[in-house]
Amino acid sequence: MDLQARPGGGSPSRRGPRRRDRHGRGLRGSLIPSHLPAFRTRRERFDELVTASASAIIERFPRRLEHLQVIVEEVPRTDPAPWEDSGVALGRTVPATREHPPIIVVHRRPIQTRCAGEEELEAMLRQVISEQIASLLGLRPEQVDPEAWGE
């Protein structure tokens, strides 16, 4: 153990990072208990909603979407492609190739900025995911998830 004298006298201390127990109150813990909803971050709640929405749709087409991957990104990496709308993309589809399975990319920030609450976010996620799956399967979004489109 490497000991050094404190400047100004006093006893030697250990070198390196040291956690302090200021005023004898003990180490600090989390302010919010883990069983409360506020314990999870917005990103974790968003990921859970994406998983729930995608799995509900995938159950309808288990064989055709067996290897589908759903990925969440913060923002789109590039500008929209010429065939896409001129606005910000809410999601993208990458068709399957020999190297990788089909992939659906959902963009978190553009979707969250368009939604006021949790219910609206869930409805928009179902629509975005059903649109992407519909383009992957060559169907209309209403055929993929009629509940999301009010049918």
- Summarize pLDDT for 108-136 with one digit per residue, the tens: 999 999 999 889 999 999 999 999 999 99
- pTM of the predicted protein model: 0.71
Strand partners for 106:
72, 91
Q: State the first-to-last Cα distance of the chain, in angstroms, to the nearest integer.
A: 72
Residues 6+ apart with CB under 8 A from 10: none
Closest CA to 49 of 112, 101, 93, 92: 112
CA angle at 57 for the pair 95 and 63, rounded to the nearest 5°: 60
* Gap between the Cα atoms of 122 and 119, Å rounded: 5
